[in-house]
A and B are shown apart, each in its own frame.
Chain A
Amino acid sequence: MNRQMKSILFYTLVVVVVIFSVFPFYYAIVTSFRSGQELFNPSVFPTSFTTGNYFSIFKEQPFGLNILNSVIVATSVVILSLIIAVTASYALARIHFRGRGLLLMTILSVSMFPQVAILSGMYELIRSMGLYNSLPGLIIPNTVLTLPFTVWVLTTFMKELPKELEEAAVVDGASPLTIVRRIFLPLMWPAMVTTGLLAFIGAWNEFLFALTFTLSNEVRTVPVAIALMSGATEYELPWGNIMAASVLVTVPIVVLVLVFQRKIVAGLTAGAVKG
């Protein structure tokens, strides 16, 4: 096989991969700009352009409130889980205590449970705490859901930081809290951005808890709100609205990823912190 053939094959493969990964998003965007009869046009190319869907989603239901709910829930989950995970990972990575290995393995295995397995138990907990149908009732389970992964990643990262760095700080007179705050936090930035972003995306897109633990539209988050969108009649599926809403809520995520992309790469190639 000569060079040319090879590169043709290579680029064909690239095109196939790109089409498969990008087409669904492309189609959602195209559909979101269609309305009425146009929605049932099977053409993959933009055939019409109306922004009506983007306005109607805010008129027909409290979609703005849903977005705000999502922002509150996802942000709280990120902040809570990072605070807990950083302190937990300091203990897990740096302090020797009985059962540490077992605890780490438990954390890892818990993170592999399917979400639906803890759904009914979590439901009971939320209800008994009186948090049913409220935002804290979504924040807590989502935090619980992301913590194992966050703790695991940060512990692994923290383990890689040289022990002598901490000892140098101890000799300099730093307390454990100062060490975490002044030495570890700045070095763990990339890992925290990565895990924080993943936690944010997880909470932003979370559907099962958000559906089960809420009752009224005012406390719903975006994924549930989109799924429960109804058309003018019972038999009409508001495709245009659904697509417009989906596109709209994906944008913040894309922006976040683009803003932090360099940090993410740095976080994924963790441990490259040599004095």
Chain B
Amino acid sequence: MADVTLKGIVKDFGSTRIIHGVDLQIKDRELIVFVGPSGCGKSTLLRLIAGLEDITDGDMFIDGDLVNQRSPKERKIAMVFQSYALYPHMNVYENMAFGLELSKHSKEDIKDKVMEAARILELTPLLERKPKQLSGGQRQRVAIGRAIVRNPKVFLFDEPLSNLDAALRVQMRIEIAKLHQDMDATMVYVTHDQVEAMTLADRIVVLNAGRIEQVGSPLELYHRPRNKFVAGFIGSPKMNFIEAQVTGVAEDGVELSVIGSDPVKVAVDPTGLAVGDKVEFGIRPEHMGSGTEGELSGKVEVIEELGESHFLHVRLTDGSLITVQGRGDATAKAGESCKVKLDCSHAHVFGGDGFAFSKLGTLGQHEKTATLEGA
């Protein structure tokens, strides 16, 4: 197993720059997840690591070796494709054995390795089947098996679960997490689904338009997003952004008036802020409550019931629509006026450039462990 280092990686397709100088250190045995909206360059970055695309500029190291000019095979990587890309004319056994055969392993050796992978992935009864005789989940496991048998330095996954239905996706997600524990392998996993990213990753890399927005443990990104993009991308439903004005600046935070509300205090480093500045106040739906008391007032427009919780979509007095989460069944009714209460210990403040003012104070217990693990 190995670490992977990206130094100033740039990729142009023709005259279009798709990856704008990415620096990243992937540690040995880490499961790192690239997440970002569709078309942001996740697959391209993964394929650059794989060696399926040429690097336009920058250096890539695997296990300390410069690999810019090396083929995927020489890089000793294995890749699981979104469409599985199983060889349709070969059965499950042959699919998994193909790479070993090409690298001239002995027949017994191939058999041992394939049987072992089949056992781990519970594919043993299916070895004789052709890919078209398998279900989506089984095909996915064969694709993973094909990667396992080659005992690669780095596993690369490109949205491996996006072709599966929701229930199977959760199950396979757990299997991949388990696989990572058992194999102690370095894994790079690409997804556009932030839930997958949060649940699987040791560290998440948030990509946007070919640039890294932030790298950190899932909880670090959740609690301390570096900018508005990360704040909005991580967490579901997404964070609410509300216009606010600075009414007071102190060492231990700033006081804000959120659309004309009484000042609320947010513990962020106030450097660069002055009274009267316009900022954006960010708060997640789960850190607000609705009721008869609260800093903001508005009107309930839509209610979504999930059973264990509910979401109220509330139109505020300035016309913006925010989402408020509550536990259990909703008591409010659509069309009613309501007050929204803010838990400002979990609020964020973003400047005009989209960057967050860094949060002050000690981290919460969860954040602390997460940061330590991620470090």
The complex places the Cα of A17 from the Cα of B84 at a distance, in Å, of 48
CA of A174 to CA of B71 in the docked complex: distance in angstroms? 10
Q: Which of A164, A173, A178 makes the CB contact (< 8 A) with B85?
A: A164
* A178-B86 Cα distance, complex, nearest whole Å: 16
A275 within 8 A of B: yes
Q: Please tell me if the beta carbons of B71 and A275 are within 8 angstroms of each other in the complex.
A: no
Using a CB–CB cutoff of 8 Å, the interface residues on chain B facing chain A are 50, 52, 71-73, 77-79, 81-89, 98-99, 102-103, 131-132, 139, 146, 150
From B78, B88, B102, A275 is in contact (CB under 8 Å) with B88
Interface size class of A (residues with CB under 8 A): 10 to 19
In contact, B81 and A167 (Cβ under 8 angstroms): yes
CB contacts (< 8 Å) of B83 on chain A: these are 162, 164, 275
Partner pick for A171 among B78, B86, B87, B139, CB 8 A cutoff? B78
- 0/1 string, A248-275, CB within 8 A of B gives 1: 0000000000000000000000000111
* B88 close to A168 (CB less than 8 A): no
How many angstroms between the C-alpha atoms of A164 and B82 in the bound complex? 9
**CA of A172 to CA of B147, assembled, Å:** 9
The CA of A172 and the CA of B131, in the complex, are separated in Å by 17
Q: Known A171-B50, A173-B103; judge A187-B81 contact (CB<8 A).
A: no
Assembled-state Cα–Cα distance A183/B86 (Å): 10
List B contacts of A170 (CB < 8 A). 52, 71-73
A163 CB to closest chain B CB (Å) equals 9
Task: Give A182 to B84 CA distance when docked, in angstroms.
Answer: 18
* Given A275-B86, A275-B88, also A172-B99 (CB < 8 A): yes
A165 contacts partner chain B, Cβ-Cβ < 8 Å: yes
> Given A162, A168, A174, A183, which contacts B79 in the complex, CB threshold below 8 Å?
A168
A-B pairs with beta carbons under 8 A, tally: 64
CB distance from A157 to the nearest CB of B (A): 14
B85 touches A165 (CB 8 A): yes
Q: Per a CB cutoff under 8 Å, which of A168, A173, A183, A275 touches B139?
A: A275
Asked whether, in the complex, the Cβ of A273 is within 8 Å of the Cβ of B78, the reply is: no
Among B82, B88, B102, contact of A174 (Cβ-Cβ < 8 Å): B102
17 A/B residue pairs, CB under 8 Å, sorted by A: A164-B82, A167-B79, A167-B81, A169-B87, A170-B52, A170-B73, A171-B52, A171-B72, A172-B73, A172-B98, A173-B73, A173-B99, A174-B102, A183-B87, A274-B88, A274-B132, A275-B83
**A273 to B86 alpha-carbon distance, docked (Å):** 11
Q: Mark A172-188, 1 if CB is under 8 A from B, else 0.
A: 11100010001100110
Residue in A164, A168, A173, A273 with the greatest tally of chain B CB atoms within 10 Å: A168
